[in-house]
């Protein structure tokens, strides 16, 4: 069982973690500063496994990965929103924070108790029958998520293009003939 | 055949690409700065990899440089250690990354540029495909020399006519952001075209591309032309690829008549709420700031100096050149003397108070009028402070009166 934390539209990275906290990479410090101005009670009350259900364009603004790290540090299991800021979305996928697009979460209120299955992107309320299933990740993002993050993908395959093998729809560029990567035999 | 984004990515891959496909593409230039480099360094260490092409890598100290706090100084130490460990060819400390990379001849038309800063899109002004990413993406680009991206759809912004006096590229982009919305270009490229474009200076184009990210865009881009070639002359000696859109298919076209624009202002907290300055004229102000990657260039200093020369500012005013090159030119041309004489605090090149960490942090309830690109709540300091976005002319006019002022009133 988890609690849903409801946020509105266009929550930007300054609101997720203000710039003055970006002078550290210490995860617990970042976690304590998560939403410190927007929702000062959040960091002290959130429990591991809780989910954030937000409005559109969640994470718009700067490229700071501190925003994803701060949310991860609080133990939040997933962020669900109709859409995400582009860079935040990439950062979440790269770092293994579950960020899923879903259009039909209007029924989720702040404090709604829910069960969330990250594998299926499935969210259901405890007290009733309402539920939703988030959209699956795009193919390349799924590949990254399947490895647990982009660093793990690169570690496993030597390079991004090395992760593609043949026939994955991702063409490789020139300048990649230096023999460093090996194609995934799959 | 395609939009400029498709042409640039396609040329780099040596095959045509279409919006919607995901590609792995070689990267010509990778950048991180003092705030993002520590996370990049951690990610590369976790990966156990070296920077693959140190000659295509650059670290810039611009966000809090010189260091204002011990924590910032420690970030610089970590950045310097990273540069040394990976034998990175350049550590630049002479201004804002998006300004100094082009000045140092590191960006050419047709390049793919990845930077650990959202305003990396500024460099699309040179016909490059330049996009901001997080530290881990940038670490992967450092380690492998490549990145993955979905080829974006494109919104065309077609510019016609010419500016009236005291109206400039900043007013134009605030109008464009108002029309398209703060997430209206999400995942897309914004391509500037039209008969007015050849008249827009490189600095103007940088302002337009810079704020593409405020519409959620992956890139802002302008096809390189003779003006680009002239600006780059003497800065880089690579052969230039002057790519153009070829029979492009745009998702949307927005036409802007420059003659119809007037000075614009955006009240907090969202960037897409632009309105004419005259509607907010008279609102009192606590601080004015002229600078940033949006508007810290020589033409911006020329405008501010022209308005403030021989006068005194009525409110505390800070000006920060985007780079040492801008600073030196502004000194030679007398702009700095005009500004300092008017009571403006001119600070060393960099991001300045845009991040709310030094050189003009706002206190509770204070109102700033600035040439920045973002008016998010608390960005410049206390969460109850307010940021209003304007052009350099409106900022200077406002500095003179201490109240929001349409610059046309002063001329």
pLDDT tens digit sequence for B369-406: 999 999 998 899 999 999 999 999 999 999 999 999 99
Q: What is the pLDDT of residues B181-209, one digit of tens each?
A: 999 999 999 999 999 999 999 999 999 99
**Same-domain check for residues B135 and B197:** yes
| Averaged confidence pLDDT in chain A | 86
Is the residue at B1 inside a domain? no
Q: Are B126 and B107 in contact (CB under 8 A)?
A: yes
Domain presence at residue B398 = yes
Assigned domain for B15 exists: no
DSSP B4-61: HHHHHHHHHHTS---TT-EEEEE-SEEEEETTTHHHHHHHHHHHT---S-GGGEEEE-
Are A160 and A105 within one domain?
no
Q: Are residues B71 and B217 in the same domain?
A: yes
The pLDDT, as a whole number, for residue A183 is 29
CATH, residue A80: 3.20.19.10
pLDDT at A175: 34
Nearest CA in chain A to B188: A86
A125 with A50, same domain: the answer is: yes
Residue bearing the bigger pLDDT, B410 or B286: B286
B246 and B336 part of one domain: no
Q: What is the pLDDT of residue A165?
A: 63
Same domain for A23 and A94, yes or no, is yes
CB distance A4 to A114 below 8 Å? yes
Domain match, B182 and B285 both: no
Q: Do A95 and B22 touch (CB under 8 A)?
A: no
- A18 and A80 inside one domain: yes
Q: Clarify whether residues B207 and B303 are in a common domain.
A: no
Residue A115 distance to chain B (closest CA, Å): 30
Considering only CB atoms, B186 lies closest to which of A57, A174, A181, namely A57
Do B29 and B68 reside in the same domain of the chain?
yes
Q: A116 and A34: one domain?
A: yes
Among candidates B24, B187, B216 on the partner chain, residue whose Cβ is nearest the Cβ of A160: B24
Q: Quick one: A129 and A153 in the same domain?
A: no
Residue B107 lies in a domain: yes
Contacts of A86 (CB under 8 A, 6+ apart): B186, B187, B216, B217, B218
Residues A125 and A162 in one domain: no
Best residue in B134, B185, B212, B375 for a mutation probing chain A (most A CBs within 10 Å): B134
Q: Indicate the residue among B256, B271, B292 that finishes a domain.
A: B256
**Minimal CA–CA distance to B360: which of B404, B316, B312?**
B316
Record the pTM: 0.91
Judge if A33 and A99 occupy the same domain.
Answer: yes
A94:B23 CB<8 A: no
Last residue within a domain, chosen from B211, B232, B256? B256
* Residues A22 and A43 placed together within one structural domain of the fold: yes
CB B243 within 8 A of CB B109: yes
Residues B179 and B288 in one domain: no
Nearest CA in chain B to A157: B144
Do A72 and A113 lie in one domain? The reply is: yes
Domain hosting B240: range is 20-256
- The number of beta carbons lying within 10 Å of the beta carbon of residue B203 is 21
Is B14 in the A-facing interface, judged by CB distances under 8 Å?
Answer: yes
Structural domain tally of chain B?
Answer: 2
**CB of B11 closer than 8 Å to CB of B243:** yes
Instruction: Collapse the DSSP code of A98 into the 3-class scheme (helix H, G, I; strand E, B; otherwise coil) and give the result.
Output: strand
Q: How many domains does chain A have?
A: 2
Mean pLDDT within A40-44:
96
Domain containing residue A179? 137-186
Domain boundary among B205, B240, B256: B256
């Amino acid at each position: 069982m988890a609690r849903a934390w409801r946020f509105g539209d266009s929550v930007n990275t300054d609101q997720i973690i203000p710039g003055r906290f970006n002078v550290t990479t210490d995860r617990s410090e970042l976690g304590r500063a998560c939403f410190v101005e927007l929702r000062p009670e959040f960091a002290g009350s959130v429990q591991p496994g809780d989910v954030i259900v937000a409005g559109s364009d969640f994470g718009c603004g700067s490229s700071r990965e501190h925003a994803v790290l701060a949310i991860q540090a609080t133990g939040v299991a997933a962020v669900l929103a109709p859409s995400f800021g582009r860079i935040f979305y990439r950062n979440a996928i790269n770092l293994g924070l579950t960020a899923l697009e879903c259009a039909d979460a209007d029924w989720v209120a702040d404090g709604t108790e829910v069960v969330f299955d990250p594998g299926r992107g499935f969210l259901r309320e405890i007290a009733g029958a309402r539920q939703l299933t988030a959209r699956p990740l795009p193919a390349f993002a799924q590949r990254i998520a399947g490895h647990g993050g982009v660093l793990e993908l690169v570690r496993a395959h030597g390079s991004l293009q090395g992760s593609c093998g043949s026939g994955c729809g991702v063409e490789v560029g020139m300048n990649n003939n230096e023999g460093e990567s090996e194609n995934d035999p799959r | 055949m395609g939009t400029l984004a498709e042409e640039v990515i396609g040329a780099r891959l040596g095959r045509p690409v279409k919006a919607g496909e995901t590609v792995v593409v070689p990267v010509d230039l990778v950048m991180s700065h003092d705030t993002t480099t520590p996370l990049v360094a951690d990610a590369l260490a976790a990966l156990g990899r070296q920077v693959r092409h140190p000659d295509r890598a650059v670290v810039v100290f611009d966000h809090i440089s010189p260091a204002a706090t011990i924590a910032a100084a420690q970030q610089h130490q970590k950045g310097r250690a990273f540069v040394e460990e990976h034998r990175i060819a350049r550590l630049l400390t002479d201004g804002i990354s998006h300004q100094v990379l082009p000045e140092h001849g590191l960006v050419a038309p047709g390049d793919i540029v990845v930077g650990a800063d959202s305003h990396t899109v500024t460099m699309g002004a040179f016909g490059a495909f330049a996009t901001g990413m997080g530290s881990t993406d940038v670490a992967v680009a450092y380690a492998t020399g490549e990145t993955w991206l979905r080829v974006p759809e494109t919104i065309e912004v077609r510019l016609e006519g010419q500016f009236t006096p005291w109206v400039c590229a900043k007013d134009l982009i605030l109008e464009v952001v108002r029309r398209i919305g703060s997430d209206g270009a999400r995942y897309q490229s914004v391509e500037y075209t039209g008969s007015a474009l050849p008249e827009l200076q490189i600095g103007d184009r940088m302002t337009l591309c810079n704020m593409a990210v405020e519409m959620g865009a992956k890139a802002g881009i302008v096809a390189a032309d003779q003006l680009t070639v002239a600006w780059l002359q003497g800065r880089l000696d690579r052969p230039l690829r002057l790519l153009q859109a070829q029979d492009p298919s745009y998702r949307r076209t927005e036409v802007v008549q420059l003659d119809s624009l007037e000075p614009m202002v955006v009240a907090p907290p969202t960037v897409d709420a632009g309105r004419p300055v005259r509607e907010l004229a008279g609102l009192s102000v606590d601080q004015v700031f002229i600078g940033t990657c949006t508007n810290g260039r020589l033409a911006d200093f020329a405008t501010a100096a022209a308005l403030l020369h021989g006068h005194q500012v009525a409110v505390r005013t800070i000006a920060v050149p985007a780079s040492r090159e801008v600073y030196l030119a502004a000194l030679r041309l007398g702009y700095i003397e005009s500004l300092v004489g008017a009571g403006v605090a001119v600070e060393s090149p960099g991001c300045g108070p845009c991040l709310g960490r030094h050189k003009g942090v706002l206190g509770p309830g204070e109102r700033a009028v600035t040439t920045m690109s973002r008016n998010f709540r608390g960005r410049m300091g206390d969460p109850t402070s307010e940021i209003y976005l304007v052009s350099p002319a409106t900022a200077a006019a406002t500095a003179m009166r201490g109240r929001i002022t349409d610059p046309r009133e002063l001329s």
